[in-house]
Structure formats: structure tokens, C-alpha cells
Amino acid sequence: MDSIFLALVVNRPVSFLAKAEYFNRRRTAWIFRSTGQIPLSRGDPAGARRAIDAALGVLARGGVVGVYPEGTRSRDGMLHRGNLGPARLAATSGAPILPIGLVGTDQVQAPDQRLPRTGKRVAVRFGKPVRLQPQSASSRAQLRDATDEIMADIADLCEQPYNDHYAKLATT
């Protein structure tokens, strides 16, 4: 649901990195493909490179890319450690990262809930853009520091506790 709420408040199309399984299901594949979403095979380094290359192409054409740095939905209500991909993408492309916090989406649709509930309020909060230097793309330590700073910004925007451990990936 986060992608839907963001699309409603952003005045440009957003291509999100989305788990590849969505592109394999007949019910969801058509909407993901037709709206310009980018498949990401989680746990597959070659798949991650393909997704990053596709995202770089979107950015090179002046488009907007949405990335969920945790890589999955939180199942415990905490914001978890971010993956380095968004920082690597920003440092490589020169595009800024805009931290965004969503509040209330868990009330609309909990992680294991099949259908969303209506009538719930969701707040979308935008942080300040962060620009990374191109040389930071070559240093894992610099990418980690930038990612941690961005995750702290998101935690502040969401008013969520931060857990400096990676979230367990959902299987569905």
C-alpha cells in the first residue's frame, strides 16, 4: 500500500523496485509492468545488479525511482537497518535521496492482512533531500554511513523505533 499512497501525493510517476515475485503472478504482473515498476530478485546479486541498472536508466531519463531500503515490510513495528542499494544508486547517478516516512499504513493493511481497510488515515512525511558524492559509491563504509543517516531520518519522520538489524524477509 505504501507505493499507492506515495503515488497519490507525488506529482510524477514513480518506478519502484518491487520484489520479482510480483511480476510472476498473473494477478499482479500486468499492473507492475504497465506502471513501470522494476523487478528485484532479492538474494540474487545478478538480479540486484539488473534492478540497479534499470533504476539508473529511469534516473538518466529524468524519472523518479522509489526504493524501500529495508527490503521488506516490518513485522514488528520497528524500522530496520537499510540495505546499501539506495545509497549506491544515488552516489552512482548523482540523484538525491528524499527520505519519506509513512505513518498509519499498518492500520490500513497489516503485513499478513489480505485486503486493506478503508477509512484509516495515512500521513506521508517528506524529509530533506540528501546528495551523496560519487566517490562514496566505491566505499562500502561510506555507503553504510550514508544509509544509516538516511534510516535515522526516516525513523524520525515515521516516529518509529530504529532496530539496527536487518528485517527478516517476507516469503510472500
CATH code of the domain covering residue 23 = 3.40.1130.10
Q: Is residue 170 part of a domain?
A: no
Calculate mean pLDDT across residues 44-69: 94
Q: What is the pLDDT of residues 158-167, one digit of tens each?
A: 988 888 888 7
pLDDT in tens, 13-45: 999 999 999 899 988 899 999 999 999 998 888
Instruction: Give residue 171's pLDDT.
Output: 56
pLDDT tier for residue 105 given thresholds of 50, 70 and 90: confident
Phi, psi angle pair for 137, to nearest 5°:
-65, -20
Q: How confident is the model at residue 168 (pLDDT cuts 50, 70, 90)?
A: confident
Assigned domain for 51 exists? yes
Which pLDDT score is estimated for 29?
92
Within-domain flag for 165: no
The answer to whether residue 26 sits within a structural domain is: yes
Q: Considering the domain boundaries, does residue 140 fall inside one?
A: yes
Per-residue pLDDT, 17:
94
Q: Is residue 164 part of a domain?
A: no
Residue 169 in any domain: the answer is no
Q: State pTM to two decimals.
A: 0.87
Query: 21-30: long-range contacts (C-beta < 8 A, 24 or more apart)?
Result: 21/172
Residue 41, domain extent: 2-159
Q: How many domains does the chain have?
A: 1
Structural domain contains residue 166 = no
* Structural contact between residues 85 and 69, judged by C-beta atoms closer than 8 angstroms: yes
Q: 98 or 43, which is more confident?
A: 98
